[in-house]
Structure 1
Amino acid sequence: MKKQKLAVIFAALLTMVGFSSCLNGENDPTVYPQELMKVNGIAGYYTFTSAYGYTITPLNMSALSDLSLGSYAIVQYSYDSSLLEWNESKDVTIQNVVGIKEGGTVSQAPGDNAGNAPLYAISSSMAQPMYFDKYNLFIPVTYYYKSSSDKDDLQAELNSHSFVLYYNPNDTEAIDGKLLLRLRHKVTDTEAKREDYGTEYRHFDITNILSAYSSVHGASMPEKIVIEFEKSQSSSYDKVASEKVEIDYKSLFEETSTNK
């Protein structure tokens, strides 16, 4: 298995969740799902759980021995669909694993120093915000970074980016039925020249935010989530403009008892 080396990944690589037939022929029953999964276990012995409840166990466990994964990952795997159902726990061959980094959450309005770097976008035709369950939100952040042919230098650059969601229960721009979150992006080196941009998903646990929203509005969940962020056509923080992306929420979970 070729280990994923870079944290910044173009949106197309992350969002093709579903099934594709094997290229060896139309009659080959091998399928290659790619989906967001919860990571269980430790390096050397991982299993992965789907949002639908089934668990996959790698047959090629040794190929994952040098991976260091967080709570969630995008996992591509293969199995024989003539022998196994898509929604049952099974042993599979792992093709690739992309770990998802954690973002932070703060229950207050963002201060003047909350962010120091703009984003290029947080959604596109290829990458949209998504959920594992109603408590775990995944935002595709497209941000400017400094490219390098040196693997260690590039990894250090990617590790210098952090993201935080702010929720202010008394935000004057909040609208009834809509949970307003403000996303801020920080880099440790503001003097670096960043001319490239790429997309990766960041994970945000919004359990405490949902609890605060419920206390203020008396509703178990909002109709929609609105994400406000600072955008620019370059990496300059002097030219930012506030933009918002609105995503469905309640309609995805209100009739799914396992997510309540």
Structure 2
Amino acid sequence: MVGFSSCLNSEDDGITEIVDYVEVSTSTFGSTSFNSMYGWVCVPNKSLTTTPKSQMAYIAYRYEDADLQSIMSGTSSSKNLPVTLLQDPVYLQDLGYPSTILPEETKTVSIYSLGDRDALVWGNNKYLILAPTIFLKKGTTSENLSTELANHSLRLYYLSSEDDEAAKTLKLYLRYEISGIGGSSTDEADETESWASDYNIQYTNVSYVNLQNVISMYKSAHGGSEPEKVTVEYEYNNSASSVPTIAKKQTKTVTYTLYKDTSSNN
């Protein structure tokens, strides 16, 4: 199982501060907690000031070591870990259910990078977290960020015929589009791509997909067999220029190993 967390406070004072990707859980009474992939549930000591926007979030929090030790040792009958959030949660973008038809190549734009080191398989193959970096338009600030992001679309695609069944590998395609860019004969002929220079602000859009849905699609297409790896193909600009491109795109594939249960009853 692949995991990600980072310790912010290394002092031996009985308190630990970490950042982590967590699953968002909202009760029928409206309270929000966060499920850690390591088995505990982060329960904030104060109500959130923001409304959850997706099922996954990135949070920074503080907890008392004794509380976690009680959970991990089994002394506590509850998995709830009291925490203090150090900032508002950052909610990840849900890439949704993968489409089975790839878009036209003249419509898709290159991604700067996929952030390989920031990606991970979360939990027991429950989610795949990706960190693609794209380019936003000149003049984008925190004030108009949401308006600009509405013009950018990241989507995943799944074609079962492209799986490597012999290698037990499920293949996904990550494609990126910018509203108003690409798709016309003019753009296809415009090798200079003058529009590209307008997009020079790098932005990492941490996203996720529900892997259980995708694995079910794989199993349905391949007689119930389970995949052991997931590959994600994306398009990037292989030239010396770091601006986005349609005409000069090339593809690159990143591989992620899925969690495999090796326990035995013997």
Q: Could you say whether these structures have the same fold, taking a TM-score greater than 0.5 normalized by the shorter chain as the test?
A: yes
C-alpha displacement at 1:74, in angstroms?
0.8
Seen in structure 2, the aligned counterparts of structure 1 residues 255 and 115 have a Cα distance that, compared at 3 Å, is farther
Spell out, residue by residue over 1:23-70, the C-alpha distance to the aligned partner (whole angstroms, 9 max, x if none): xxx342210121111112289732111123321111122xx2234431
C-alpha displacement at 1:181, in angstroms?
0.9
Look up the SS of the partner of 1:237 in the other structure.
coil
Deviates more, 1:233-242 or 1:84-93: 84-93
Please say if residues 119 and 185 of structure 1, whose CA atoms lie closer than 8 Å, have aligned partners that are also in contact: yes
1:81 to 58, 62, 65: 65
C-alpha displacement at 1:98, in angstroms?
1.1
Aligned position for 1:6: none
After the TM superposition, which residues 1-260 of structure 1 pair with which residues of structure 2 at under 5 Å, given as runs?
17-21=5-9, 26-41=11-26, 45-61=31-47, 64-85=48-69, 87=72, 88-96=79-87, 97-112=89-104, 115-124=107-116, 126-148=117-139, 150-171=141-162, 174=164, 176=166, 177-190=168-181, 193-232=198-237, 233-249=242-258, 252-255=259-262
Amino acid at match of 1:103: L
The two structures have a TM-score, normalised by structure 1, of 0.78
- Whole-Å separation in 1 of the counterparts to 2:26 and 2:45: 15
Aligned position for 1:4: none
Amino acid at match of 1:254: D
Look up the SS of the partner of 2:145 in the other structure.
helix
Please say if residues 140 and 148 of structure 2, whose CA atoms lie closer than 8 Å, have aligned partners that are also in contact: no
Please say if residues 219 and 226 of structure 2, whose CA atoms lie closer than 8 Å, have aligned partners that are also in contact: yes
- Whole-Å separation in 1 of the counterparts to 2:84 and 2:212: 33
C-alpha displacement at 1:76, in angstroms?
1.1
- Whole-Å separation in 2 of the counterparts to 1:119 and 1:129: 18
Please say if residues 154 and 175 of structure 2, whose CA atoms lie closer than 8 Å, have aligned partners that are also in contact: yes
Please say if residues 45 and 65 of structure 1, whose CA atoms lie closer than 8 Å, have aligned partners that are also in contact: no
Spell out, residue by residue over 1:105-161, the C-alpha distance to the aligned partner (whole angstroms, 9 max, x if none): 33524131695221011134x423332431321111111112536433222112332
- Whole-Å separation in 1 of the counterparts to 2:263 and 2:56: 21
Amino acid at match of 1:108: T
Look up the SS of the partner of 1:117 in the other structure.
coil
C-alpha displacement at 1:73, in angstroms?
0.1
C-alpha displacement at 1:91, in angstroms?
1.4
- Whole-Å separation in 1 of the counterparts to 2:106 and 2:95: 14
Question: How many residues are paired up?
Answer: 234
- What percentage of residue pairs aligned between the two structures are identical? 22
- Whole-Å separation in 2 of the counterparts to 1:98 and 1:147: 24
In structure 2, the gaps of 5 or more residues are 73-78, 182-194
- Whole-Å separation in 2 of the counterparts to 1:16 and 1:55: 16
Amino acid at match of 2:235: E
- Whole-Å separation in 2 of the counterparts to 1:54 and 1:114: 46
Tell me the C-alpha RMSD between the 2 structures: 2.8
Please say if residues 4 and 21 of structure 2, whose CA atoms lie closer than 8 Å, have aligned partners that are also in contact: no
Deviates more, 1:68-77 or 1:206-215: 206-215
C-alpha displacement at 1:104, in angstroms?
2.8
- Whole-Å separation in 1 of the counterparts to 2:40 and 2:109: 39
In structure 1, the gaps of 5 or more residues are 1-14
The two structures have a TM-score, normalised by structure 2, of 0.76
- Whole-Å separation in 1 of the counterparts to 2:170 and 2:103: 19
